[in-house]
C-alpha cells in the first residue's frame, strides 16, 4: 500500500498502459481519477472524466472538482498519447500537429492545471510517460519520436523549475510492451526488437505500472528530472 491515501490523476487512463497504471495505483491504496476521450464504461473504484487533454477549460474544471472532493492532488501521470505508423514523406501537417498536440501540449495543459495546487501545498509528484523512441535512435514514426523527446525535455526543465516547491518530476520511457503501440507495428519490427532485447521478450503493462507506482511514491523521494528506460535491455 505504498500509495495509501494519495490522490492521483491519470490522463488517458481508460485503456492500455494508462488503465494498468490507474488500476495498480488503486491497488496500492490511492484514490484515482482518470481521463478518457471516448464513450466508455466507468471503471469500478475509479473516477472517470470524459475530458480531452487539449480541452484547457475542461481540464481546469476537472482538476478543481477533484481538489474540492479530495482536498488536493498529490500525483499526476501524464499518459495520454497518440501515434501513427507513417513515414515523414507521406505525413500531412495535420498528422504532425495532432501527435505533437496530444502528446506534448496535452501534458503542458494538464501539468499547468495540477501544479497550481501542488505549489500551494509544497508537495507533489508528476510522472510523464515517454518512450524509448524519444531517447534512442530506433525505427519509429518521426512525429511520435519528436513528441516523446519533447516530453523528456519538459520533464527535466519542469523538475528544475518546481523542485524548490517540493515537487518531483520524472519521465518513464518504456520499450515495446505486449499491448498498446505494439499492436500497430509490423511483425518484422516486433521480431527485430525481441532479437536485440537482452531479455528476449516484450514488457507487460503490469510490470511498467508497478514500477510507475514506485516512481511516484514517497519511497522514491530523491529522484527528479530523470528519464528512466524500461526496455528489457535493448
Nearest to 185 by CA among 217, 129, 138: 138
Q: Which residue has the higher pLDDT, 139 or 201?
A: 201
| Residue 189 clears pLDDT 90, i.e. is over it | no
* Mean pLDDT, residues 196-210: 95
| Residue 182 clears pLDDT 70, i.e. is over it | no
Decide if 144 is catalytic: yes
| Residue 202 clears pLDDT 90, i.e. is over it | yes
Cβ-contact 110, 62 below 8 angstroms: no
| Residue 6 clears pLDDT 80, i.e. is over it | yes
Phi and psi at 149, nearest 5°, equal -65, -40
pLDDT one-digit tens code per residue, 23-82 = 999 999 999 999 998 767 667 789 999 999 999 999 999 999 999 999 999 999 999 999
How many Å apart are CA 64 and CA 84, to the nearest integer? 33
- How are strands ordered across the β-sheet holding 31-36? 47-50, 31-36, 7-10, 75-78, 124-129, 167-174, 227-230
How many Å apart are CA 48 and CA 129, to the nearest integer? 19
Residue with cell 498502459: 17
Mean pLDDT computed over every residue of the chain = 94
Phi and psi at 122, nearest 5°, equal 60, 40
The CA dihedral of 70, 72, 77, 82, to the nearest 10 degrees, is: 80
Cβ-contact 79, 10 below 8 angstroms: yes
Whole-structure pTM value = 0.94
pLDDT one-digit tens code per residue, 95-132 = 999 999 999 999 999 999 999 999 999 999 999 999 99
What is the per-residue pLDDT for 186?
78
What does each C-alpha distance from 136 to 32, 92, 125, 148, 192 come to in angstroms? 32, 25, 25, 11, 15
Cβ-contact 1, 24 below 8 angstroms: no
Grid coordinates belonging to 25: 495505483
Residue with cell 481521463: 35
Strand 7-10, strand 31-36: pairing: parallel
Residue % of the chain over a pLDDT of 90: 82
Domains present along the chain, CATH in parentheses: 7-224 (3.40.50.720)
Out of 34, 36, 144, 193, which one is annotated catalytic?
144
**Burial group, residue 118, by CB count within 10 angstroms (0-12, 13-18, 19+):** buried
Q: pLDDT band for 234, please (50, 70, 90 cuts).
A: confident
Amino acid at each position: 500500500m505504498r500509495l495509501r491515501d494519495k490522490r492521483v490523476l491519470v490522463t488517458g487512463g481508460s485503456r492500455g498502459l494508462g488503465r494498468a497504471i490507474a488500476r495498480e495505483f488503486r491497488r496500492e491504496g490511492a484514490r484515482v481519477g482518470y481521463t478518457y476521450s471516448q464513450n466508455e464504461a466507468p471503471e469500478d473504484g475509479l473516477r472517470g472524466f470524459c475530458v480531452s487533454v487539449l480541452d484547457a477549460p475542461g481540464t481546469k474544471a476537472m482538476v478543481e472538482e477533484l481538489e474540492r472532493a479530495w482536498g488536493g492532488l498529490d500525483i499526476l501521470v501524464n499518459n495520454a498519447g497518440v501515434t501513427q505508423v507513417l513515414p515523414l514523406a507521406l505525413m500531412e501537417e495535420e498528422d504532425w500537429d495532432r501527435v505533437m498536440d496530444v502528446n506534448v501540449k496535452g501534458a503542458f495543459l494538464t501539468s499547468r492545471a495540477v501544479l497550481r495546487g501542488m505549489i500551494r501545498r509544497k508537495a507533489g509528484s508528476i510522472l510523464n510517460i515517454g518512450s524509448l523512441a524519444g531517447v534512442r535512435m530506433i525505427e519509429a514514426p518521426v512525429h511520435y519520436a519528436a513528441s516523446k523527446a519533447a516530453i523528456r525535455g519538459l520533464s527535466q526543465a519542469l523538475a528544475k523549475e518546481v523542485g524548490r516547491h517540493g515537487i518531483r518530476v520524472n519521465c518513464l520511457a518504456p520499450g515495446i510492451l505486449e499491448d498498446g503501440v505494439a499492436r500497430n507495428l509490423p511483425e518484422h519490427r516486433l521480431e527485430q526488437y525481441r532479437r536485440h532485447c537482452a531479455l528476449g521478450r516484450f514488457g507487460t503493462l503490469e510490470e511498467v505500472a508497478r514500477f510507475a507506482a514506485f516512481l511516484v511514491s514517497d519511497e522514491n523521494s530523491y529522484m527528479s528530472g530523470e528519464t528512466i528506460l524500461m526496455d528489457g535491455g535493448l
